[in-house]
Structure 1
């Protein structure tokens, strides 16, 4: 279902004359899909064991406290 939704989104965003109602329907479906992703992520996170270390300072701790942003991962150089 997610692959089909992504194709629909790519198609709609590629159209210059996309109808507002079609975009609203697409947005609603995307919101539903993101809600599903969040539910799975939270559920998976709740089952993870508590790490044996405690991060109290630095950029990682800021992100864990809800401040700052996580660093972006870079693709490996080929």
Structure 2
């Protein structure tokens, strides 16, 4: 909370220069941990995209394919509890 806008700007500029330097040198990953973290991130993003696609497909199928309403099952009004009988 005690950072000024200038310090934050300088930090962002340094980070941007570091990333651009890695891009120019074609060495995006410095260690195997960077590669592993990137693979985990891509796996997470891919899973989220697949789940969103499934939701969209499910919604489209439910909206388009079910033009006629289904008959609803009648709920039972009650069940006799025979344990209460004398």
TM-score normalised per structure 1: 0.42
Structure scoring higher RCO (CA < 8 A, sep ≥ 6) equals: 1
Answer 1 or 2: which has greater helix percent: 2
Q: Of the two, which has the highest radius of gyration?
A: 2
TM-score normalised per structure 2: 0.39
